[in-house]
Amino acid sequence: MLKSIVRTLTSRTVAWAALLVVVFTTCRPKAQPAGDPHSSAPAPSASATPPLALPPAPGARIEDERNTIAVFKTSAQSTVFVTQTRVVEDYVAGTLQEVPAGSGSGFVWDDQGTVVTNFHVVEGARSVTVTFHDQQTFEAKVVGLEPRKDIAVLKVVAPAKLLVPIHVAKGEQVEVGQKAIAIGNPFGLDHTLTTGVISAIGRQVQGAGGVSIRDMIQTDAAINPGNSGGPLLDSSGQLIGMNTMIFSKSGSSAGIGFAVPVGTISRIVPQILKTGRAEQVGIGIGADPLQKLERRLGLEGVIILHVPDGSAAATAGLRGLTRTRRGIALGDVIVGIDGTRVQHFDDLYTALDQHKPDDTVKLTVLRGEGQVTLSIKLAVLASPSLI
């Protein structure tokens, strides 16, 4: 019996021992191979070299970058470099010679060789050249000028492959805050691109023609000397304006640039191509934009110098200066239009510029010791010297 008990205990002991071995072997952590990311080995010391960040994939760009690049590739070939020369007299040698007198930008308007730029870029030029994106240069002819809008139209004979017209926005409403892209040749650095936003619209700025240009676009896209005449584009690459001037005390970009709106350009350019000059609506009187006589006499308003026969002004009964035995006698002095006060020539021009042919306006004039109000029907002016 004792032997039987011993055998029973021994078998049970062996069984319990085997069970403990199985449990111990199962619960004990397994040895991890070197380099296993789940290893419980101690973390590397702080002095170990951290892994390098992977670079972006080739060609990775944000959407705004891709848009700007696409607009430049599309429109740069339509942007040109405009250079003018003038004749200078050498008083020592007694000779005349042509010298470079200024440069600016421009853009191809159509596939017939029409190039549009600013009036002040070609003002007083003896000759004008146009350089395309591939650096080919051609002589250009001035077709017509509109100083009061600072617009000039040129004609150049060049290979058809170079005449890539700019895309002109039609009926698009320009809004403050939208993207603005300027391409031009600032300081002679050809095909320079700058970006920004439309800062304001409807600005009235004094132009090169001595009167204010209405509805100008203000932008913070960097515009510098040499950008004049270049295109201002939207994010779809369409022309929304022509870069014209900057507001800066230093003469360089201060984040305030102005562009002639595309609506004005689209109206003026076809008129110049058709007749050689811009169509202007007015009352048909002769007046001095510099107002020398008004300043001499200390008068506010616009003195009517002369009234051509058959003009709308003559039909309405307006009077100009007359000669007497004592000298020159004043006729009518315009002091108001449609109830708005006219103090300067610019006031009269700006008011008339908002009208169309056959519109009727009411003029208030000083005549002798009193005031007279006359109704006058506007017409297309026969001469750019009239208003």
* Residue numbers annotated as active site: 120, 150, 228
Return the closest-CA partner of residue 286 out of 316, 318, 315, 317: 318
β-pairing, 179-184 vs 192-206, is antiparallel
- Bridge-partner residues for 239, per DSSP? 168, 233
C-beta separation of 271 from 381 below 8 A: no
* Nearest alpha-carbon partner for 226 in 341, 323, 131, 301: 131
DSSP string, 275-297: HSS---EE---B--TT-HHHHHH
Rounded to whole angstroms, the Cα distance separating 117 from 80 reads 9
3-state secondary structure at position 42: coil
Dig out the tokens for 379 from the structure. Answer: 């017409």
* Tally of residues, the chain: 387
Q: Are 231 and 243 in contact (CB under 8 A)?
A: yes
Handedness of CA 184, 120, 154, 350 (dihedral sign): positive
Task: Give the list of residues 6+ apart from residue 340 with CB closer than 8 angstroms, or none.
Answer: 347, 351
Which residue in 109, 106, 110, 86 sits closest to 96, CA to CA? 86
3-state helix, strand, coil in the chain (%, to 5): 25, 35, 40
DSSP string, 67-82: HHHHHHHHHGGGEEEE
Residue 386 contacts residue 305 (beta carbons within 8 Å)? no
Specify whether the CB–CB gap between 184 and 253 falls below 8 A: no
Structure letter (DSSP) for residue 330: -
Q: What is the DSSP letter of 66?
A: H
